[in-house]
Amino acid sequence: MKRVLSIILVLGIMMLSTAAAAATGYDTVFSDISGHWAKDTIERMANLGIVKGVGNGMFLPDREIKRSEFIVALHKAAEIKINYFKAPDINEFFDDVKNEDWYASTLYDLASLNIVDDREKFRPNDLITREEMVHYLVNTYKYKLNIVLDQIDEKDKCFDDEESIQKQYKESVKYAFKLGFVRGRSNGKFVPKGYSTRAEAMIVLEKLMQALKENIKAEVEVIPSFEKHEDGYKMALTIKNNSKKDVVIQHFSGQKYDFVLLDDKKEELYRWSGDRAFVEILTSTEIPAGKTVEFSEILDAKTYDEISGKAYYFKAVIVGSSEDFEINEDGYYLSLKEEKDNKLEIVPSYKKGEKTFTMKLSIKNTSKKPITINHTSGQKFDFKLLDENKEIIYTWSADKIFIMMETQTVIDPGKTVEFADELDMESFGDIVKKARYLKAYIVGASEDCEIEEDGYEVEITESKENSLVVVPEYEKSQNTFTMKLKLKNTSDGDITINHSSGQKFDFKLLDKNKEILYTWSADKGFIGVLTETVIDAGKTVEFEEKLDMENYKDVIGKAKYLKAYIVGTSEDCDIEKDGYEIEIK
């Protein structure tokens, strides 16, 4: 009897605990975070299993976190999964960690991926510094998205105490700030050597997870298609998972997709699911990383022929929801207007002269039937000039008056109509200099084609007479690996490149994933003095550096790409900030 009462009592306590957890909205509740600035994040991360408490219902949010504790939480947050053919040995990387240590397998994963890029000593029981934490965080971000981050301009200052950031971590700290992962503690200082608290660690890990999720959303591609088939028409919905993470779609019934045909007003003409029944059961579709799923159905030719004259749009719908990427509830549209004869090719353009600036709008009918554009007044077109922020600085029609009568523009098959107007540079020179975009508008409507109400835009670029051909090269020999950067001036005038220091160029070696293996300038110092490189007309300047194979054999063996950089700016030509790349074969 006592045993039965004990079981009932335990069950009652469990039910009360469950009810309490449900009331807070979290499975895990800590007694020492009430009112703490990171309370919500800590509860979310604990609920996801990223972190645990320290016992007795406590989390200790302001206690510093150890290096071993942080890398375990990072491993979970990034969902790192690696299968090995043989048992991993942590001593391949570190001599102060044992294989039986509770964090050893996690550390092995991160070290093998170069997320944790320390070697020999890991110092697992040391408290992690803020600069170390941020470095591992950014390394994870780069690995998960398989990207090489752009070079950060050394002049871009993020924190007042940047000089105290260790050189190997400086770029990571700047990127973490740029990506919104970290902020300063106070007075604009990062405090790189300060120890990170458990609460701070949860905040940055959640931001990492959110950033990865947002990128995964962008990397899931949904493509509708409607193609002729031997039995009629194939309606398809293709979902490509280009990310490095599996995505799952939850369906509320046996129906996973739908296909719809619509008229030119987007009124429904046909729905595939209209005469079908589906089982009321929860189902799911899992799309592994790098894989594609296609749903398709055949619409018989007879059914389509009955509505083909009216069908203007095809819509494919994912019937379900996903936490891994954003599903467009309204569906994914494909225009079937290509089946109509009428087509319009619209091209805005401009011409800059010493005395005039000409704005043009060319409208070409590429179909076999005339196209009619109806105008509600005498105004048939318009032009606007926009500045670098796309703010309007000039509107052609602003000071003009048009007769209020309906007019038409008829464009015969294969013919082109052009609208144009000029601005004299004497009166409008200042506006034209500020203008970075020209926007041209068709003021009217047509039943024969679509007209963009938002206009047609073209960028206004500065034409530079001087032309620079930049060619990265390499030479491999038994003893050396030579990296070269050739700059050839193909113009009739000299080209000057201005450098903010003694460094005029740089070289980087990248692996197959385009991760940086070696940076030539990393261990070099340059004088802080303005210098310049002048390339005479028709001449070539070459920069080169050699690596001896004895010291750099392993790096060169892994290198799949050479990236060469011009470190400087020029008013005579465009310089690619992202560098010039060549594959190493």
- Both tokens of 413, joined, read 């098959």
Taking alpha carbons only, the member of 423, 332, 441, 435 closest to residue 382 is: 441
pLDDT at 12 over 60: no
Question: In this structure, is residue 47 part of a structural domain?
Answer: yes
At 131-154, the pLDDT tens digits run 999 999 999 998 887 777 766 666
Answer whether 302's CB lies under 8 Å from 194's CB: no
Q: For residues 92 and 238, state if they share a domain.
A: no
The domain spanning residue 528 has which CATH number?
A: 2.60.40.2360
Query: Contacts from 272-277 at CB under 8 Å and sequence distance 24+?
Result: 272/235, 272/297, 272/299
- Of 83-97, 281-295, 488-502, give the range with the top mean pLDDT: 281-295
Alpha carbons 90 and 191: distance in angstroms, whole number: 31
Q: For residues 213 and 225, state if they share a domain.
A: no
Alpha carbons 170 and 476: distance in angstroms, whole number: 32
Question: In this structure, is residue 438 part of a structural domain?
Answer: yes
Answer whether 559's CB lies under 8 Å from 510's CB: yes
pLDDT value, residue 153: 65
| Residue 512 one-letter amino acid | K
Helix or strand or coil: residue 299? strand
pTM of the predicted structure, to 2 decimals? 0.41
Alpha carbons 130 and 165: distance in angstroms, whole number: 10
User: Which residue, of 307, 335, 363, is where some domain finishes?
Assistant: 335
pLDDT value, residue 136: 95
Q: For residues 160 and 187, state if they share a domain.
A: yes
Q: For residues 281 and 160, state if they share a domain.
A: no
User: For the chain, how many structural domains are there in total?
Assistant: 4
pLDDT at 375 over 70: yes
pLDDT at 466 over 50: no
Question: In this structure, is residue 5 part of a structural domain?
Answer: no
Q: For residues 202 and 258, state if they share a domain.
A: no
Q: For residues 329 and 474, state if they share a domain.
A: no
Alpha carbons 261 and 313: distance in angstroms, whole number: 6
Q: Is beta strand 407-411 parallel, antiparallel or unpaired with respect to 344-352?
A: unpaired
pLDDT (average), residues 257-262: 95
Q: For residues 504 and 548, state if they share a domain.
A: yes
Question: In this structure, is residue 12 part of a structural domain?
Answer: no
At 180-190, the pLDDT tens digits run 888 777 677 88
pLDDT at 28 over 70: no
Question: In this structure, is residue 434 part of a structural domain?
Answer: yes
Q: Which has the higher per-residue pLDDT, 337 or 407?
A: 407
Q: Is beta strand 381-386 parallel, antiparallel or unpaired with respect to 437-442?
A: antiparallel
pLDDT at 72 over 90: yes
C-alpha count within 13 angstroms, C-beta hemisphere, residue 147: 14
Q: For residues 359 and 445, state if they share a domain.
A: yes
Contacts of 267 (CB under 8 A, 6+ apart): none
Over pLDDT 90: what percentage of the chain?
49
pLDDT value, residue 384: 95
Comparing 20-34, 124-138, 416-430, 566-580, the range with the smallest average pLDDT is 20-34
Q: For residues 190 and 131, state if they share a domain.
A: yes
pLDDT value, residue 27: 54
Helix or strand or coil: residue 365? strand
pLDDT value, residue 367: 81
pLDDT (average), residues 284-306: 92
Question: In this structure, is residue 22 part of a structural domain?
Answer: no
Q: Which has the higher per-residue pLDDT, 167 or 18?
A: 167
Domain around 390: 344-459
Cβ burial of 243 (10 Å; 0-12, 13-18, 19+) is buried
pLDDT value, residue 547: 92
Over pLDDT 70: what percentage of the chain?
91
pLDDT (average), residues 34-46: 91
Q: How far is CA 252 from CA 105, 280, 283, in A?
A: 38, 7, 7
- Both tokens of 550, joined, read 């004895």
pLDDT value, residue 529: 79
pLDDT (average), residues 535-549: 91
Comparing 28-32, 87-91, 373-377, 562-566, the range with the smallest average pLDDT is 28-32
**366 — pLDDT class (breaks 50, 70, 90):** confident
Alpha carbons 177 and 172: distance in angstroms, whole number: 9
Mean pLDDT, rounded, of the chain: 86
pLDDT at 11 over 80: no
- Both tokens of 442, joined, read 């068709």
**216 — pLDDT class (breaks 50, 70, 90):** low
User: Which residue, of 440, 459, 478, is where some domain finishes?
Assistant: 459
**What are the residues facing 367 on neighbouring strands?**
none
User: Which residue, of 398, 427, 459, is where some domain finishes?
Assistant: 459
Q: For residues 410 and 489, state if they share a domain.
A: no
- Both tokens of 198, joined, read 């458990």
**582 — pLDDT class (breaks 50, 70, 90):** very high
Alpha carbons 193 and 130: distance in angstroms, whole number: 6
pLDDT at 25 over 50: no
Question: In this structure, is residue 450 part of a structural domain?
Answer: yes
pLDDT at 53 over 70: yes
pLDDT value, residue 107: 95
pLDDT value, residue 422: 93
Q: For residues 114 and 187, state if they share a domain.
A: yes
pLDDT (average), residues 275-290: 91
pLDDT at 22 over 50: no
Question: In this structure, is residue 20 part of a structural domain?
Answer: no
At 476-501, the pLDDT tens digits run 988 899 999 999 988 777 889 998 88
Euclidean distance between the first and the last CA atom of the chain, given in angstroms as a whole number: 80
Q: For residues 521 and 390, state if they share a domain.
A: no
pLDDT (average), residues 347-367: 89
Q: How far is CA 313 from CA 239, 257, 445, 515, in A?
A: 20, 17, 19, 43
Q: How many CB atoms lie within 10 A of CB 449?
A: 21
